[in-house]
Amino acid sequence: MKKVERINIIMRYINNRSHFTITEIMREFNISRSTAIRDIREIEAMGMPLVAEVGRDGGYFVMNNSVLPTVRFTDNEIKALFIAFMATRNQQLPYLKSRQSLAEKLLGLISENQQDDLVLLNQILLFEGTNPNNPDLLELSDLPHPMLEKLIQILLLDRYLLITFKEEKAEKSYPIYLFHLYREKSHWLIEGFDIKEEKRRIVPVDHLTNVEPYLTKKRLSKKKMLEKLSKQEEGINLVLELGPKAIAQFRKYHPLKVSISYTNPYQTTALLKSFINVNNPEELTEITNWLLFLGGDIKVRDVPQEVLEGLQERLNLFCP
């Protein structure tokens, strides 16, 4: 372990304890007494307010209500932060502008050599969504829907919401309890319980025109909502056996509500069980396309006739 990394870890170790001794530092970090003493002195020189206790059982403690020294980042920690920034460029993430200012502050804290390393990494590494003609580390070319941050801020206070969104040519408002805010196929979606109609509702964030807390004294508990939904949900009508190639495709993409259970310890075979609402044309089309995406390494145990017809229709387009 390099010295800078060790000292950073020792500082965190010290800060989480009310009292420590040189012997504890030696044992915890497998270093000699002289090295432990030198590290403690360097930490004191950096500004950590340590108070020494004399005597047989003496040691050190951190002075209360004192300002701790500035956190120092190792080279690998800096690279980890900025590679995470690079990998999430153009992903319509919330607080993207704040991430940009954070990157600018971090760049101001590191050395010129560290900055040169990041510039080089930025030229070499390309992630999905990166524009290779303009791979600027601070580029903000794909800002999320402006309603997303407002939605998150309200959610931190209350998950009972009154949402207004465009539906066909009109605007409609629904009181919902939000279960999840998730991103699927490059779109942010709200999954919630429609309090008035007592059903599950999924709404794209891009369609929102307004969101505000839903103020009502009569509130159904989350447990009651889930009980109502479980009574409404249909039984399983899709059962597939997946081989290794289909599992690899599944890991690349799968609908949020679909999961698999592995049937051997090597995770090379799996069982998929789900429900398809054949009365929902969008869901029917999506699941048909997705089954084609999984490929031929599947065995069908149970599937709705409507899905089979959809698959046959799609295949006829390629093999008339």
Average pLDDT over residues 205-215: 90
Convert the pLDDT of each residue in 15-52 to its tens digit: 777 788 888 888 888 899 899 889 888 888 777 778 77
* pLDDT value of residue 49: 76
Average pLDDT over residues 219-248: 85
Confidence of residue 154 (pLDDT cuts 50, 70, 90): very high
Rounded to whole angstroms, what are the CA distances from 170 to 75, 289, 304?
54, 30, 34
Average pLDDT over residues 202-212: 89
Average pLDDT over residues 186-201: 87
* pLDDT value of residue 17: 74
Average pLDDT over residues 269-293: 84
Convert the pLDDT of each residue in 56-108 to its tens digit: 556 887 776 555 555 567 788 888 988 888 887 767 788 877 777 788 788 87
List, in order, residues 6 or more apart from 83 with CB less than 8 Å away. 121, 125
SS3 string, the chain, reads CCHHHHHHHHHHHHHCCCCECHHHHHHHHCCCHHHHHHHHHHHHHCCCCEEECCCCCCCEEECCCCCCCCCCCCHHHHHHHHHHHHHCCCCCCCCHHHHHHHHHHHHHHCCHHHHHHHHHHHHHCCCCCCCCCCCCCCCCCCCCCCHHHHHHHHHCCCCEEEEEEEECCEEEEEEEEEEEEEEECCEEEEEEEECCCCEEEEEEHHHEEEEEECCCCCCCCHHHHHHHHHHHCCCCCEEEEECHHHHHHHHHCCCCCCCEEECCCCCCCEEEEECCCCCCHHHHHHHHHHHHHHCCCEEEEECCHHHHHHHHHHHHHHCC
Rounded Cα gap, residues 152 and 209, in angstroms: 15
pLDDT for residue 137 is more than 60: no
Share of the chain above pLDDT 70, in %: 87
Q: Which domains does the chain have, with CATH numbers?
A: 3-62 (1.10.10.10), 73-144 (no CATH), 147-232 (2.30.30.520), 238-318 (no CATH)
Q: Are 190 and 175 in contact (CB under 8 A)?
A: no
Average pLDDT over residues 212-227: 87
Please, what's the largest Cα pairwise distance for the chain? 91
Most confident of 238-252, 266-280, 283-297: 238-252
* pLDDT value of residue 307: 82
Kindly report the average pLDDT of the chain as a whole number.
81
